A and B are shown apart, each in its own frame.
Chain A
Amino acid sequence: MSTDLSYFLMPWLDPSLMMLTALGTFAGIYIGAIPGLSVTMAVSILISFTFSWEVNDALALMVGVYMGGVYGGSRTAILLNIPGAPSAIATSFDGFPLAKLGEAGKAIGVTTVVSFIGGMVGIVVLALAAPMVADFALMFAPRDYLLLAVMGLLLVGSMSGESLAKGLFSGALGITIGMVGMDPLTAEGRFTFDSVTLLGGIPYVVVMIGMFGISEAISQLHHLKDVVIRQDVSKILPSWSTVVKYIPLSIRTSFIGVIIGALPGTGGDIAALFAYDHAKRSVKKPSRPFGQGAYEGLVAPEAANNAAVGGAYIPMLTLGIPGDAVTAVMIGALYIHGLKPGPMLMIETPHLFWFSVGNLTLANIFMLIFGLMGIRLFAKIVEIPKGVLIPLIVLLSVVGAYAINNNVVDIYWMLGFGIFGYLLKMYGFQIGPVILGVILGPLMDVSYRRAMMSVNNTPDAFFMDLLTNPISLVLTLAILFMLIGQTPLWTKLKAGLAKAKAA
């Protein structure tokens, strides 16, 4: 125990490790805030950069970048309606409306605090229950990933805005975009028209940057003469009572984040979308209607995506299996530094587990400090004159799109999707479902086919599995509940039950 504690405190007591963690977190927030500059990329660049360093120093820097980066994505989502990272997509749904109401400062303040809470929940679960959660995550079969994807796609219902039909169209469009490229199971080209460029598919971050960034920039042209919204920055730190009010929701969505983060096939982006949907279903009286600046719509995804960091560490440290893209790169870093990530890691290098936990905690605290610093200045970004802001958004989007794969073609895609996204918005189609489709469509496709191949393509065996396996059964029931819960049948059933009780 005392040795565990000394490992935990290692990054706290060594000034250089502490400085590196702080530096990483600070850099991470800004890397995360710029769309296209991803944490995954930053961490892989750091591998070469920290090649000759001590492994602990290198890890301290990377952990900081990871923690800060996941949080940083919310900045641009709130201020400019461009999620800095896919895990901040859901943040923009209510974050940007808040900025439009002049509450950007308070929105960032709340986001920072709940991100910290989410991060802590993730770390606590990692510290106390890592082996159990890892084994639980392994139990998810291909059919369970299918059910998760279906459940996620049902979120179209809560993102459709004015018309469900338009929402469904957007979702289907997104799925189609996600299918472009080489089929991962058969290597057949889909919608590629024999072009090698298309064989690699359309990176979904490109779609995201175009549809959010460029389309937002074009939309802003309609409002050139509008009065600039004054941002209220008198009170950016959320009051204690506000924080307490959101604690139950942050804890609930944090658990969603930990589990989704620990699953090897899913990460913070999906966790945040699930959390947003959970908030929408479970919060009866939000501060404002969802989509128009509800703080609950901000709290849920931001707690979840930071909790997913601790979640993703769980299979990485216990089994050497990455929980998401960033932890996959970290595993590479451990190899290069002569460590052997795998089930033996905790036995061969016992300090690493508690060192990582301590390091994550430290990074989380730095994230809170740096996050709360400079909010006043940042909130003013929204007040920048449109003539300066719009070109800035376009510039940021182009740089971001190019940075993903260093591919010029991605810029054209991004611009094309930007114009297309603008047209969609003009005609009342929501962009959220498109992105949802691009992210979840491919997961649903391959998981369904894998599940069917596992039962020799016999549907009856497939349905039997849904009912007999505990995880599948719970997920199936949840999906049925989500569907039936929205129909008149449910209202009638509820009324009937109430009557029976009264009688």
Chain B
Amino acid sequence: MRTTKKTSLTTLLKGAAAALLAGSLSLSSAFAADFPDKDLQGVIMWGAGGATDNVARALTPHVEKYLGKKIVLTNKSGGAGAISTNYVFSRPANGYTVLYGAENPQIHGVLGLSKLDYSSFIPVNIIASGTTVIVTRADKEWKTVKDIVDDVKAHPDTIKMGTAGPGSLPFVVSSMLKTTTEMPVLTVPFDGEGPGMTALEGGHIDFMAVGLTAAREQLKAGRLKALAVVSDTAVPGMENVPLITEDFPAFKKFLPWGPFYGIFVKQGTPEEAVKALTDAFAKAVAEPQFQDFIKDFGATPLNIHGDEAVQYLKHNQSVSAWLLQDAGAAKISPEELGIPRP
């Protein structure tokens, strides 16, 4: 009798627990099904017309299809990405504010721009990574990067290398070149890759490291020529351009490195929301139409998320941060910020 009673009590308790559990489960699944129950805000790190903006606007209509809600896109440029990063971080961690970012915040710490980097965010998707090429005007006599370096060493402080503001792709790759070759070149920073290439075509600078995305059409038209691909493995479509490591094996330690475009939400966002976003973005990035766009754009598709994306971000940050430290461009040592050497 007693035992029966006890059993029934246990059963009751178990049942209650099960019910509770089931209830919470159904609640959470209901939540997952509910996300998103309103339109989202998409914050683009760079201004209208830039590469990040192009990727964001080409991708979002596909995402909306899978998400079932609109993503209202706004550009919040400024501070080399610090403004948008800080803005998204200041919003509630509920998955309704999504950051469309590029690689820049990864070195905001060492440059002393902002304390926030992507470790404060969850990567929903790393969409694609860019390839970097070293370009010069087609009528220049140089055939390889080695020719440039020799020429610079023979004529110190006269040859001009274009770059862009600290934290940008041309800036990082220029630092790689200068640390590796120690050549006495003049560096002239422009507002970005586009304005830099315009100056290159106008003859106001002599060579520049730029994303293939920006240079592709100029290369195809034969106005500019690529002297090297900044990679240690062959890049599809660029097989006839030598790898930078062929003449400068010391570059190996920096590679693979490249700019990337990604989608981020603040740390602490509920798992269900992250999952819903991750699924929608992964499907959208995989759409053939978007993949064609990425290829035309001169970027390499990645479509990674979760741990893989976190590892990717960590490696990228280690390389950039320590590179700047070794080049003497860092204001705060990566060691101080707990960024391990690659």
Contact = CB atoms under 8 A, between A and B. Distances in A.
A55 interface: no
Interface stretch (B53-61, B247-255, B264-272): B53-61
A48 B60 contact: yes
Contacts of B167: 187
A242 interface: no
Contact of B75 (A44, A187, A340): A44
Given A342-B218, A453-B188, A332 B202 contact: no
A360 B166 CA distance: 39
Interface string B132-160: 00000000000000000000000001101
B187 A320 contact: no
A454 B48 contact: no
Nearest to B60: A48
B179 interface: no
A185 B218 CA distance: 25
A138 B205 CA distance: 12
B220 A344 contact: yes
Nearest to B73: A48
A52 B61 contact: yes
B188 A41 contact: no
Interface stretch (B191-199, B275-283, B309-317): B191-199
Contacts of B338: none
Contacts of B187: 453
B66 interface: no
A450 B292 contact: no
B221 A335 contact: no
Contacts of A43: 48
Interface in A139-192: 139-142, 181-182, 184-187, 189
Contact of B48 (A52, A329, A407): A329
A329 B78 contact: no
B216 A342 contact: yes
A44 B46 CA distance: 13
A328 B48 contact: yes
Contacts of B73: 44, 48
Contact of B217 (A342, A407, A456): A342
B293 A142 contact: no
A196 B86 contact: yes
Interface string A274-285: 000000000000
Contacts of A446: 191
Contacts of B221: 342-344
B74 A340 contact: no
B165 A200 contact: no
A341 B54 CA distance: 13
Interface in A250-265: 264-265
A336 interface: yes
Contacts of A322: 49, 194
Q: Tell me the dominant secondary structure on chain B's binding face.
A: mixed
Contacts of B50: 328, 332
A342 B54 CA distance: 15
Contacts of A343: 217-218, 220-221, 223
Contact of A338 (B83, B113, B223, B293): B293
A382 interface: no
Interface centre among B47, B58, B61, B158 (most CB of A within 10 A): B58
Nearest to B49: A328
Contacts of B217: 320, 340-345
Interface in A112-142: 138-142
B49 A44 contact: yes
A446 B73 CA distance: 30
Nearest to B223: A343
B292 A142 contact: no
Interface in B17-59: 47-50, 53-54, 57-58
Interface size class of B (residues with CB under 8 A): 35 or more
Contact of B165 (A185, A201, A338): A185
Interface residues of A, number: 54
B165 A196 contact: no
B296 A340 contact: yes
A490 interface: no
B318 interface: no
Given A196-B86, A336-B293, A264 B195 contact: yes
Contact of B189 (A51, A338, A405, A450): A450
A162 to B, nearest CB: 37
Contacts of B293: 335-336, 338
A440 to B, nearest CB: 15
Nearest to B164: A184
A200 B195 contact: no
B186 A338 contact: no
Contact of A456 (B75, B186, B194): B186
Contact of A139 (B82, B188, B189, B202): B202
Given A138-B201, A344-B221, A325 B49 contact: yes
A336 B49 CA distance: 11
A406 interface: yes
B61 A51 contact: yes
A41 B77 CA distance: 13
B114 interface: yes
A181 B78 contact: yes
A409 B202 CA distance: 39
Given A199-B83, A336-B54, A343-B217, A456 B114 contact: no
Interface centre among B48, B53, B75, B86 (most CB of A within 10 A): B48
B82 A456 contact: no
B204 interface: yes
B264 to A, nearest CB: 17
B306 interface: no
17 contacts: A40-B48, A47-B57, A139-B202, A140-B202, A142-B204, A182-B80, A186-B165, A197-B86, A199-B83, A199-B114, A320-B217, A321-B198, A336-B54, A336-B57, A336-B58, A405-B74, A406-B74
Instruction: List the 8 closest A-B pairs by CB distance, nearest first.
Output: A342-B217, A200-B78, A328-B49, A343-B221, A199-B79, A138-B202, A187-B166, A200-B83
